Structure 1
C-alpha cells in the first residue's frame, strides 16, 4: 500500500514538474519569436523597401557617352544600391514574355525607351527623398522621364510605422502575460506542498531553510524550460534563414546572442522571483487559511 502511494506521489510530482517546464518553455519560446521579430523589424522593412525600383527613361537622341556617364554617377550615388541599364530591345523582349505575345508584330515598331533601373538603399525610400532624387535626375537634358510607384512608397512607409508600433505594444503585453503564466504554474506547483511548508515551519524550520529547496528545484526547472525554448527558437531561426535567406536573420550574431541570453536569463529570473513570492505567501498564512 505504501509503495503504491509512493508511486502515486512520484507520478504527481513528475506531472507537476512537467507542467511547469512545459509552460516555461512554451511561453519563453513565443516570447523569443516575438523578440526575434522586434529585433529584425527594421531589417525586414529595409528588405521590402529595397525592392522599390526607380526607372529612368532616356530620350532616343541620348548619346551613349551620356548614358554611360549617367549610369556610373547613379551607381556611385549614396542612395543607390544598384543601377542597371536596360535597352529598349531587352525591355520589349521582357514585356513580350510577360503578356505572352510579341506586341511589335501588330504595332510595327518598338515604343519602349532605353532606361536605367535604380534600386535604392532603404534609408532613402521616403516620399520626400524620392521626390528630390527624381528632380535631380530629371534635370538632365537627355532624361525623358523618371518613374516610380508613388502610392506604393507612401503606403509602404505608413504600414512599416504602424507595424513597428503594434509589435512594440504586443511585446509589452506578451511579456506581462508570460510573467503571469509562469508565475501561475509555479504557484500551483508550490500550492500542492503548502501543508509540508506549514509543517516544517511549525517544527521550527526557518523561512530561508524552507524556501531554499523550492527555489533550487524551480530554478532548475526554469533552466530546463529556457534551454528547451532556445532549442525551439534555434529551429525556427534555422528554418526561416534556410527558406528566406534574403532576410539575413543570421548576419548579426551579436543580436542573436543577446536574444538567446535574454530568453535564458528571463526564464531563470521569473522562476526565481515567482518561487520566492509563492513560498513567502504560504509561509505567512495561518494554519486554518491553508484549506481555502
Structure 2
C-alpha cells in the first residue's frame, strides 16, 4: 500500500474518531444539562416547601412547663424540620408595630394566643398529609386551633406535579435522542471497517474475539466524549453558581456526583451496546451485502 494512501487513511480514521467524540460530547452535554435541571428542580421545590408553615394556637390555661414539654414533643416528630414559638406578649408587640399603635390600650386585654409555627419537611407538604397533621393537633388538649394556607398547598402540589411530569417527558425524549445519535456515530466508525470484520470472520475468528476491540474502542470514544461533556458542564455550573449562589450548585456534592456518574454511566452503557449490536449486524451479513 503506498505511503501516501496509508497516511490518508490514518488521517481519515482520526478525523472520524474526532467527529464521533465531539458528537458524543455534545449529546452528553445536553443530557447533563437536563439532568442538572432535574436535580436542581427538586432542590428548588424543597426550598419552596420548607417555607410553608402550619400554626398551632394554644389554649390560654396552659402552664409554661406544659408549653415547653409540648414544644419538645413536636420537635421530635418525623414531619418537623424546625419550630418557632411566639408568646401572646410577643405577638401583641409585633401586631402593635404593624398597625402603628398599641391596640392593648383600648382593648385592655390581650386577645391573641400563644402560638407555635411548625416548618415541615418537604415530604410532608401535601394536602393529604397536612390534613392528617391538622386533624391530629385539633384533637390535642393544648391546641385551640390550627391554621395553614390550604389553597397555597394545593396550588404548590399541583404545580410541582405538573412540572415534574413534563421534565420526565423531556428527559425521556432527550435520552432517546442521545441513544439514537450516539448509536449512529458508533455505527459509522464500525461501518468503515466492515470488510475487516468479514475478513477476520472468514479466517476463523470467533464473534467474541472480533467484537472485543470494537467494543473497547467505542467505550474509549464514549468516555473521552463524557469527560469533554463534564468539562463543559463544569464551566456551566461554575457560572450558574456565580449568578445564583443561593442554589449552592458547587456545594451540592451529592447532586454533582449523581450528575457526573450519570454522564459517565450513560456514555459507557450506550457506547457498549451500540458497538455490540453494530458489530453483530455486520457479522451476520453475507459478503455481497457489505457493498450496500
Q: TM-score, normalised by structure 2?
A: 0.69
Asked if 1:245 is matched to 2:244, the reply is: no
For residue 272 of structure 2, what is the aligned residue in structure 1? Answer: 272
- The offset of 1:212, in angstroms, is 5.3
Aligned position for 2:155: 155
- Name the counterpart of 2:196: 197
Equivalent position of 1:224 in the other structure: 224
Q: How do residues 1-292 of structure 1 correspond to structure 2 at under 5 angstroms?
A: 9-35=9-35, 45-57=45-57, 65=64, 67-86=67-86, 87-89=90-92, 91-92=94-95, 96=98, 103-104=100-101, 113=112, 115-138=115-138, 145-194=145-194, 197=196, 200=199, 204=203, 206=205, 208=207, 213-233=213-233, 243-245=246-248, 249-250=252-253, 252=254, 260-282=260-282, 284=285, 286-287=287-288, 290=291, 292=292
| CA deviation string 1:207-261 (max 9, x = no partner) | 75765554443332122123333444556666569541399742x4xx8656644
Count of residues in Structure 1 that have an aligned counterpart in Structure 2: 279
Deviation at 1:119, TM superposition (A): 0.6
Change (3 A) 1:230 1:90: farther
- Look up the SS of the partner of 1:104 in the other structure: coil
CA contact (8 A) 1:52 1:119 kept: yes
Deviation at 1:46, TM superposition (A): 3.8
Separation in 2 of the partners of 1:109 and 1:13?
91
Deviation track 1:33-58 (CA, whole Å, cap 9, x = no partner) reads 54566667766544432221123345
* Aligned residues of 2:79 and 2:120 also touching (Cα < 8 A): yes
Using a 3 Å threshold, how does the CA distance of structure 1 residues 204 and 127 change in structure 2: closer, same or farther?
closer
- C-alpha change, 1:147 and 1:233, in structure 2 (3 Å) is same
Question: CA offsets, 1:139-166, max 9 Å, x none?
Answer: 5677564321101112222333344444
Partner of 1:99: none
Residue 20 of structure 1 and its aligned partner are, at CA, apart by 0.9
CA distance in 1, matches of 2:164, 2:210: 46
Query: 2:135 and 2:276 mapped to 1: Cα distance?
Result: 65
C-alpha offsets along residues 152-189 of structure 1, whole Å, 9 cap, x if unaligned?
Answer: 11222233334444444444443332221101112223
CA distance in 2, matches of 1:71, 1:288: 79
**In structure 1, the residue corresponding to 2:146 is in which secondary structure?**
strand
Contact kept in structure 1, 2:74 and 2:80, CA below 8 Å: yes
What are the ranges of 5 or more consecutive residues in structure 2 without an aligned counterpart? Answer: none
Q: Distance in 2 between matches of 1:205 and 1:141?
A: 85
> C-alpha displacement at 1:24, in angstroms?
1.8
Residues 186 and 271 of structure 1 are in contact (CA less than 8 Å); yes or no, is this contact kept in structure 2? yes
